[in-house]
Amino acid sequence: MSIFNVSFPLFMYFVGLVVFCFKCKHLLLMLLSLEFIVLSLYFGVYICLSMYMYEYYFSMIFLTMSVCEGALGLSILVAMIRSYGNDYFQSFSLLW
């Protein structure tokens, strides 16, 4: 197994983390970067499972949980846009 297969998911994870930290103005960009982080984690788990010839049942459970997380994030985004009119965090206040 080459070093590229091991280091590429780690690189993807850190790129997603940097985008998540720097693009915190819009909720949609934050949700997309979180999904990219989940995708990189899934890719890393898949590579680790394939290196040791394990079964892929855990990857199916991980995909199920990530789909549920994505649906929850989209429902929060839709609720925020309907109540506030945009997805800026500046217009969202917890003190109301």
94 pLDDT tier (thresholds 50, 70, 90): low
Confidence of residue 40 (pLDDT cuts 50, 70, 90): very high
Strand extents, DSSP E, the chain: none
* Residues with Cβ within 8 Å of residue 76, at least 6 apart in sequence: 27
81: Cα separation from own chain's centroid: 20
Q: What is the pLDDT confidence band of residue 39, given thresholds at 50, 70 and 90?
A: very high
Q: For the whole model, what pTM was predicted?
A: 0.83
3-state secondary structure of 91: coil
Q: Are 77 and 34 in contact (CB under 8 A)?
A: no
All domains in the chain, ordered by first residue: 3-84 (1.10.287.3510)
Query: Measured in Å, how far apart are the chain's first and last C-alpha atoms?
Result: 54
Q: What is the tens place of the pLDDT at every residue in 58-90? A: 888 999 999 999 999 999 889 888 888 888 877
